[in-house]
Structure 1
Amino acid sequence: MPEMTQSIAKWDMFEVSFAGPSNGNPFLDVTLEGFFSQHARTVRVPGFYDGNGTFRLRFMPDNEGTWSFTTKSSATELDGQTGSFTVTAPRPGNHGPVQVANRYHFAHADGTPFLSFGTTCYAWTHQPLSEQDKTLHTLAGTRFNKLRMGVFPKDYPYNINEPLHDVYQRGADGELDFDRPNPGSFRHFENQVKALGDMGIQADIIILHPYDRWGYSGMSQAQDYRYFAYLTARLAAYHNVWWSLANEYDFLLDTKPMHQWDRYFHIIEENDPYGHLRSIHNGDPEANYDHRKAWVTHACIQNWDVKRTIEWRNAYGKPVVNDEPEYEGNIAPSWGNISAQELVHRFWTTAMRGGYAGHGETYSHPQDLIWWAKGGELHGEAWKRIGFLRDVMEASIRLGFEPIDNKMGFPWNRVSGARDGETTIIYFGEHQPVIWASGLPQDDGTYEVDLIDTWNMTVVPARIVPAPENHPTRHGAIVRPRKPDAAFAVELPGRPYLAIRVRASGKGAPAGSP
């Protein structure tokens, strides 16, 4: 008889297990799928072998009420199993999986907006358990809500230690058998995915990468396909999962041709009935995958030139997540030694150009305990200011911040601004004007205008002054005299990395608050 929970909260995971055959290779020899039904709707869910003669089905219900299921299997003892369970209201804090919303943005299934503020710890689940606990503790004190993390261990400078687990079992010859996943490794990985979900953090799961000495990146096409299906069957029922097919897929192109990458996307689609987000990450800044393809939900970018965010939005027509705009740190490679202030600047620029940026920290350490690779502890300063940016944006989020069109030319090809509803935020970056009127309201309504110091994390009421008649036009020409573009201007202290926020009076939080 299956082990069942009689009730489950909406968007939590319902799991049922069955005893089945263990002889031969059940990973290859036995098929199992479940069909979960409510009223006229039926959802197919793939099952998987979890070792020791145990098979499992996992399901994430998206509707309250009574559900029933039946199984179909090539093994007689697994075929035709049935059961039912009740789905209750979602737990507080669980808003459901993240989806694309309003074309260029994200929201949870219940409509709650999701602003992606992610970080990277590639191989944190392969470190000693004490270090993994430290990573979770550190994350709990930040405002990050997404974590890039690989299934496989990583072999790369600063990250050469042996992993906690082999992801596949070893044969009698001591070699990894890529036809036999190691259930213990997958159980540990998914337990950490759940731990992140309990903290409100999305697990952006990197399925393949080229930095490998164990042979995972060299599995055959058939083994890759089975791996994708097995991983999806195990993890799709977790509400906080994102799929990232690869870190730097273009460095694997000599072994995995383009049609194979397309097929990986299709395998995920076929085995993930919940439609979790799907992306793929480039290595060469100019080697972006064709994110216009229907099976890609959002563009995942690696590029230091964050002012191109609007260009990528226009090219792909989808949300843009620049997960690697270089990292705060001091290691030798140039991608890992920008200042904290520069990374914060790139976050603000990306956000005000309608995209989402990712954090990484790469400060050298005598034991190579570097956040970007192994997690553990943060030693830099950017993460605090990134959390402040999240607070500022979430105070006014409605549908998603849309960039002020850079087709207007000057000054929007230099500074960055965005609007969401009746809120406008303008970020000056490296520029340090002493007065500003462009992009501000043209009518004489009542507004709250704040001056934001992005580094010192302060929000104070701005000083409002009459708009100058000789303020530059959108094309840069100065006309004297002429009617001002805006109803007022903002006086600024003349230093870089400031922003202003304008809200119609009574909208959002009071002036001076995030």
Structure 2
Amino acid sequence: MFDRSSTFGEALDSPAARSVLEVFLPGIAASPMASQFRGARLGQVVNLVPGLAESVDKDRFFAALAELEEGGAGRAPYAPAIDPHPEYEPESVPRGSAGVTLPQPTPQWGVVEVRFAGPSHGNPFVDVELTASFTNGGRTLRVGGFYDGDGEYVLRLLAEEVGTWRFETSSTARSLDGITGEVVVTEPDPGAHGPVRADGFHFVHADGTRYRPVGTTAYAWTHQPEELQERTLRALEGSGFTKMRMCIFPKSYLYNENEPEDFPFPGSIEEGFDLERFDTGHFRRVEQRIAQLGALGIEADLILFHAYDRWGFADLGRAVDERALRYVVRRLAAYANVWWALANEYDLLWAKTEEDWERIAEIIGEEDPHGHLTSIHNCRPFYDQTRPWITHASVQRVDVYRTAENTDHWREQWNKPIVIDECGYEGDIDQGWGNLTGEELVRRCWEGAIRGGYVAHGETYLNDAHELWWSKGGELVGSSPARMAFLDGIIAESPTGTLEPLPSDWDVPFGGVAGEYVVLYFGFNRPRFRNVVLPDGTFEVDVIDTWGMTVEPVPGVHSGVVRVELPGRQYMAVRLRLVQP
């Protein structure tokens, strides 16, 4: 039979399946795009092709395909769930007898790690369940533990509050059950502000410090050789970026054909993967990179699932998905700079339904006691961004030209922060999403900022090594990062450290803080002057060259209407700063 995992090409080559395509997707089978999509899964095609996602009755379509006798045996059955072993240790093992290593006092917002020397027979990854209750004053957090190999079990807690936290374990392994202890959390280190939370349409650290996402993407940078990862970190230092999108599972796509040295599961594409165990060395290296990003002041926006896969990780089945998800969240939730992105382009993951995504979100809520930011990213149709577990909208462009221009509309529609994580990339590859000029990317960043949101960076400049930043990291060679940092500085100077969309002229958007700090952005227009009607009060006026990164004051202070002389160049802005009400 045919199903969501079947390829478009397989269906085209089957007369029976092709007839179903022609009924439900009229014209597509014979269209010029057919060859382009031969390798795509049917579950992707119905969302990838414009118009299909809205016009196709998906359930009827896949039911019709499933009834066909052609198509072979289909996929092998998914692996079942595995319950912890009820008699993993005999009653002769004393309860709570495992050795315990307590951490030194941990600064607030650091990672509290309690380690246990326990049993290693069988398969502790699935045979043993370990949790603990951590209590400080009137607050109790449930923390899930994980197996770290070689008989080592770990509980990790993000040190959210100063004081003494008392814990007690619960485990299906007798030696790990009922262990009690204390860990101490001290005052935070300088520069530590805690995890980021949504704050209306913007973001703030747990200690109240304003946070603004200046984002970039390097999907597979932690799946590259060590030397390339180190180059990526050096490039990020001083770049101005405060967020990095990155994948948990490796990515297979254009300019990313190399095989990683290790994977979340032990094994290889040739020998297969052991889906009942995890490669602890791989995860330790990922943790190291997350910590290094944190030291640079960069949030790690972790993409949990994606469709760009040749190893089978995009279609593991619910049981393995949930097991991997719990392991990842338990290992990483204690890092203050972690965000969860359920998917990159959720609608291209052919094997998952809305029910699956809701279950994934539920598991994250169960396993993350610290409530990290959580999003789900689209290719074409948006997920329901009003869902309560979604803390902010993570948006891919919806039009070749216009996406950032929708920011204020999306704010009103979803009542959440808007982060346009993909609006197109600065670069020169053959793909339309990856050959924007630096000027156009920066224009989109300003356009979204003036409308109260945040537009992210991506870089896809071709080179002989196929080390494109957007995929592998490496070097930043584009012209937009410095100018995005300049924009962030302009936003930071507002009284709130943010911009809100303000009543605007028909041809020029205004953003800022009403009556106090107003920015007019001209984008690709290039006036020689502008008569600006000022709010009540007296204002200083600046002319900002957003590309040249200069701020030129207009002499004097002003009220009423002021004529602002402009250079007749694109990408100019005017800023009004209140001096006296």
TM-score, with length taken from structure 2: 0.80
More displaced stretch, 135-144 vs 166-175: 166-175
1:193 aligned residue (270, 290, 296): 290
Return the offset for 1:404.
1.3
> Are the counterparts in 2 of residues 171 and 177 from structure 1 also a CA contact under 8 Å?
no
> Any idea what the Cα deviations from partners look like across 1:73-117, whole Å, max 9, x if unmatched?
11011111111122111111111100011x110000011111110
Q: Over the residues paired in the alignment, what is the CA RMSD in angstroms?
A: 1.9
Alpha-carbon separation, structure 2, partners of 1:454 and 1:433: 15
- Alignment of 1:268 with 2:342, yes or no, is no
Alpha-carbon separation, structure 1, partners of 2:563 and 2:131: 63
Over 3 Å counting, the alpha-carbon distance change for 1:400 and 1:26 in structure 2 is same
> Any idea what the Cα deviations from partners look like across 1:238-281, whole Å, max 9, x if unmatched?
000000011111101x3111110111111111111111000011
> Are the counterparts in 2 of residues 436 and 489 from structure 1 also a CA contact under 8 Å?
yes
Partner of 2:281: 184
Which sections of structure 1, spanning at least 5 residues, go unmatched?
468-485, 508-514
- Alignment of 1:293 with 2:390, yes or no, is no
Partner of 1:377: 475
- Alignment of 1:243 with 2:357, yes or no, is no
Q: How many residues align?
A: 478
> Are the counterparts in 2 of residues 465 and 489 from structure 1 also a CA contact under 8 Å?
no
Over 3 Å counting, the alpha-carbon distance change for 1:339 and 1:322 in structure 2 is same
Match of 2:193, SS state, is coil
Which sections of structure 2, spanning at least 5 residues, go unmatched?
1-98
Alpha-carbon separation, structure 2, partners of 1:177 and 1:372: 29
Partner of 1:220: 317
Matches within 5 A, 1:105-504: 105-170=202-267, 174-252=271-349, 254-284=350-380, 287-303=381-397, 304=399, 305=402, 306-396=404-494, 398=496, 400-405=498-503, 410-411=505-506, 414-420=507-513, 422-438=516-532, 440-443=533-536, 445-462=537-554, 486-504=560-578
- The one-letter amino acid paired with 1:168 is F
Return the offset for 1:133.
0.5
- The one-letter amino acid paired with 1:256 is K
Moved beyond 4 Å, runs of 4+? 463-467
> Are the counterparts in 2 of residues 131 and 376 from structure 1 also a CA contact under 8 Å?
yes
Return the offset for 1:166.
1.8
> Any idea what the Cα deviations from partners look like across 1:369-406, whole Å, max 9, x if unmatched?
11000001011111111111111111225163110146
Partner of 1:482: none
Return the offset for 1:164.
2.5
Alpha-carbon separation, structure 2, partners of 1:22 and 1:146: 38
> Are the counterparts in 1 of residues 424 and 434 from structure 2 also a CA contact under 8 Å?
yes
More displaced stretch, 171-180 vs 136-145: 171-180
Match of 2:266, SS state, is strand
- The one-letter amino acid paired with 1:131 is L
- The one-letter amino acid paired with 2:379 is G
**Aligned residues: percent identity?**
46
Alpha-carbon separation, structure 2, partners of 1:346 and 1:149: 22
- The one-letter amino acid paired with 2:225 is P
Over 3 Å counting, the alpha-carbon distance change for 1:500 and 1:187 in structure 2 is same
Alpha-carbon separation, structure 1, partners of 2:385 and 2:118: 41
TM-score, with length taken from structure 1: 0.90
Return the offset for 1:488.
2.9
> Are the counterparts in 1 of residues 540 and 557 from structure 2 also a CA contact under 8 Å?
no
Over 3 Å counting, the alpha-carbon distance change for 1:61 and 1:288 in structure 2 is same
> Any idea what the Cα deviations from partners look like across 1:328-387, whole Å, max 9, x if unmatched?
000001000010000000000010011111100000011101100000101111111111
Structure number with bigger Rg: 2
1:48 aligned residue (136, 146, 157): 146
Match of 1:181, SS state, is coil
